[in-house]
Structure 1
Amino acid sequence: MEVNEWLAIAMFVSFILMIFSGFPVAWLLGGIAVVFTGISLFADNHLDTFIGLDWNYTALTVDRIWAIMSNWVLVALPMFVFMGQMLDRSGVAESLMHNVSRLFGRLNGGTAIAVVLIGLMLAASTGIIGASVALLTLLALPVMLKNQYQSELAVGTVCAVGTLGILIPPSIMLVMMADQLALSVGDLFLGAVFPGVLLGSAFILYIVIRAFFNPDLAPVGDATESLDWNVVLNAMKAIIPPALLILAVLGSIFMGLATPTEASGVGAFGATLLAWYNKKLNLAVFKTVCIQTSQTTGFIFAILIGATAFSLVLRGLGGDELIESALTGLPFGPTGIVISILFCTFLLGFFLDWIEITLIILPLVAPVVESLGFNLVWFTVLFAVCLQTSFLTPPVGFALFYCKGVAPPQIKVGTLYRGVTPFIVLQLLAITIVFVWPAIVTWLPSQAYGN
């Protein structure tokens, strides 16, 4: 191997090792890019080699950053974040939890089923994992524990359902993936609909089966109301407002009435209207939402800038050619290569956040997959489902941290790990199904846009 290839490997390994230092990821990425530029210059000047990586090359990061900041697709990010933050304070989730739980209250596992359905609606409305998991934990976990639900089943349901927001459109992860690969955001949104519904359906089926064979895991509550038209009507009243918001955002995109950027503005405005309608909107709430939106957006764009510098230097060292040759040299054939990529992505999810994997790994492997003849929209959605699993896998399963932070004291870390394990298996099963039947992803975009 050449010196530059060894440096590319060392650069990637250094990042994975340094991630455990607790230093901000954005500064790690940018700092490692600067350090390895210096190492390359030292190697050129003092060793019998020529890498050709210097400060003029690394300075191209500025041009790359300008291209990122002038990208209209990424304007959707802060708008969707604002939409999610405002919805969390609009009272919509509380109303859904109260009324949908009453609808399924007389079933074993009914509260957990209600949590999945509410989580699906929140996923299509907010797309913010931390907010969804924390909100579901605060609203649903005490109710399930009070009804004598098994702790593992209760926390596993809350954590797994809360992660759906990163996949089900409008998803900020899919917006970033579309930007990195120059794909249509609408195609990715449409392609992710059925996999998201598949995961939600798998969660419900799992809960129903477990509660059927062992009712003590998810018993019916003592204070359960009888099902009547009043309960159904109240549930419909709670469901219609967020459903209309989802229809306004996604419907306008899918029908070609608005771009994702324009639809994100519609969503932000609609979420504000819902908060006003539920008498939750005031100056303090608006200020808090704006501050948290700015913080989240700043965090994402800081990593985006650091990842831009990191990727630029990695490519300058020949990292993309190294990865391409390593993948195409595998003796598994095209299908085996894609499986290997997904497996490595799953393992990286134990240590890295989805943002780093999306910005660093995906742009390196996607061209290889496309050159092998696979549909890039299908692979990107498949990659997204795989990344969603990273929110549940220890030690850096962020959904576990969010849940533990607001859960009752009796919920221990071991309970969380045991609780999410069956749901991780279900997600791996969903990845397998989407892999075997690509039409689950590609059918809807082909019907909508004919491509």
Structure 2
Amino acid sequence: MMEWYWALSFLLGLVLLFMAIGTPIAFGFLGANIIGAWVFMGGEAGITQLLDNGFGALSKFSLVPIPLFLLMGELFFRTGLGMQMFNAIDRLMGRIPGRLSYVTVLGGTAFSTLSGSSMGSTALLGSLLVPEMEKRGYKKHMSIGPILGTGGLAIIIPPSALAVLLATLAKIDIGSLLIAGIVPGFILAGMYMFTVWLQTKVDPDAAPAYDVDYVPFKEKMRLLFVNIIPMISIMVVLVTMMLTGLATPSESAAFGALGVIILALIYRRMNWTALKESVVGALKVTLMAYIIVFGSATFSQLLAFSGASSGLIHWATSFELAPLMTLLAMFGVLLLLGTFMEQISIMMLTVPFFFPLAATLGFDQVWFGIIVLLALEISFSTPPLGLLLFVMKGVSPNTSMSVIYKSAIPYIGCSLLLVAILIMFPQITQWLPELMK
């Protein structure tokens, strides 16, 4: 039997080799798993057993929310309901300094909760607001920074397809992880609002005031109750159903998708093209997510069968480091990987090691899951290769990457501060899941 460190090096080396030659991460894991099963599980019989176990992982009911949440976000975006809500928030904000930056945070948070897609949210906000802010004389950091920050909120605030995927890979309760992200997500949005306020106080010229059309009180009420509350109510009802136990996460996701369809029909925004594009878009991402689950499940089994995971955990705990130091080390690894890898690849590499190690150290698994999601959210906009940075470059081609990097830093700082708060006060993430139980 191979020593655990040689087995670990062999399996990870295969994954990195496939990635280096340009193989998509999901297929890279599949290739590494097949070779690993041949070496560690007895050739052809081992491959057959591994594939059977992988298909078993795909039959879990817990995977159902992924396509439904994705469909919900696609419908919300492609029917124009998201733009309708955003325009209403814009008109309600009035003439406060930095108005469009606040609109970005408020509208972006609302859109992120309903879309569940960080890249989709960033692309929409960037294409819509960056040209408008430039026209109004806003400095770059006042337009780009809030968009990068709120784009990442889609990872934390439900419905989050990435959170469902993480919970599935880590074998923790999906509903608890989704619910646990609500309070930290809105705390982070509040920090972003404070950051905008502070920047306008330090440099009033960063967001010049300008005249806007007066909106009568009656019109404000109409905008609020017609264009905003119905959209937000979908998320509120969805979360309430999970909290009260009226529906499982899968059932809540189905109700959420149905709710967006009904709203689109009521507002006469549903058409065949929007429906077809939404279904196709959701199916494409769902297929990749299921391949990822298949690859990750079989990779985890290989690590266990070869003794690599148990050997690594035993080695990591033999140093007798304080649990906090081990937690910070894991968080640092996630941030480091985020500088050159995308989030799903990071999850597939680290979840099989980090969650068993966290359980050994006595960490609450849901709380640790939120810490991991925050690390992934930070890595989305961490220079030099954060995905949201390149999405922003795509919608704002005249902006240099150095300006985009600098704009992201204050919002990365907010996320790091939230991580520190959650480490000191873990009950912030725990009280809603406990209330649900």
TM band (smaller chain): over 0.9
Instruction: Structure 2 unaligned segments of length 5 or more: list them.
Output: none
Runs of 4+ aligned structure 1 residues displaced above 6 Å come to none
Query: CA shift at 1:448, angstroms?
Result: 3.0
Query: CA shift at 1:195, angstroms?
Result: 0.8
What amino acid maps onto 2:383 in structure 1?
P
Question: Match for residue 48 of structure 1?
Answer: none
Name the stretch that deviates more: 238-247 or 327-336.
327-336
Instruction: Structure 1 unaligned segments of length 5 or more: list them.
Output: 41-50
**Structure 1's 157 and 216: CA in aligned 2 closer, same or farther, altered over 3 A?**
same
Question: Match for residue 416 of structure 1?
Answer: 404
Within 5 Å, give how 1:299-448 maps onto structure 2. 299-407=288-396, 409-448=397-436
Name the stretch that deviates more: 124-133 or 93-102.
93-102
Counterpart CA distance in 2 for 1:235 and 1:182 is 42
Question: Match for residue 237 of structure 2?
Answer: 248
Question: Match for residue 283 of structure 1?
Answer: 272
Query: CA shift at 1:148, angstroms?
Result: 1.2
Query: CA shift at 1:200, angstroms?
Result: 0.6
Counterpart CA distance in 2 for 1:21 and 1:116 is 39
Question: Match for residue 95 of structure 1?
Answer: 84
Question: Match for residue 239 of structure 1?
Answer: 228
Find the residue that maps to 1:410 and give its secondary structure: coil
Name the stretch that deviates more: 254-263 or 62-71.
62-71
Question: Match for residue 140 of structure 1?
Answer: 129
Q: TM-score, normalised to structure 2's length?
A: 0.93
Q: TM-score, normalised to structure 1's length?
A: 0.91
Counterpart CA distance in 2 for 1:2 and 1:363 is 19
What amino acid maps onto 1:33 in structure 2?
N
**Structure 1's 26 and 448: CA in aligned 2 closer, same or farther, altered over 3 A?**
closer
CA-atom RMSD in angstroms: 2.1
CA contact (8 A) 2:169 2:297 kept: no
Counterpart CA distance in 2 for 1:166 and 1:399 is 12
Counterpart CA distance in 1 for 2:215 and 2:201 is 20
Counterpart CA distance in 1 for 2:112 and 2:53 is 32
CA contact (8 A) 1:392 1:398 kept: yes
Question: Match for residue 35 of structure 2?
Answer: 35
What amino acid maps onto 1:28 in structure 2?
G
CA contact (8 A) 1:5 1:317 kept: no
Question: Match for residue 24 of structure 2?
Answer: 24
| % identical equivalent positions | 27
Counterpart CA distance in 1 for 2:32 and 2:313 is 22
Find the residue that maps to 2:399 and give its secondary structure: coil
Counterpart CA distance in 1 for 2:172 and 2:26 is 25
Which string of whole-angstrom CA distances, capped at 9 and with x for unpartnered residues, describes residues 320-341 of structure 1? 1232023212342222111211
Question: Match for residue 164 of structure 1?
Answer: 153
Find the residue that maps to 1:390 and give its secondary structure: helix
Corresponding residue pairs, total:
436
Counterpart CA distance in 1 for 2:219 and 2:139 is 26
**Structure 1's 380 and 24: CA in aligned 2 closer, same or farther, altered over 3 A?**
same
Which string of whole-angstrom CA distances, capped at 9 and with x for unpartnered residues, describes residues 58-117 of structure 1? 433322222222211101110110000000022222222222122224111111111111
Question: Match for residue 250 of structure 2?
Answer: 261
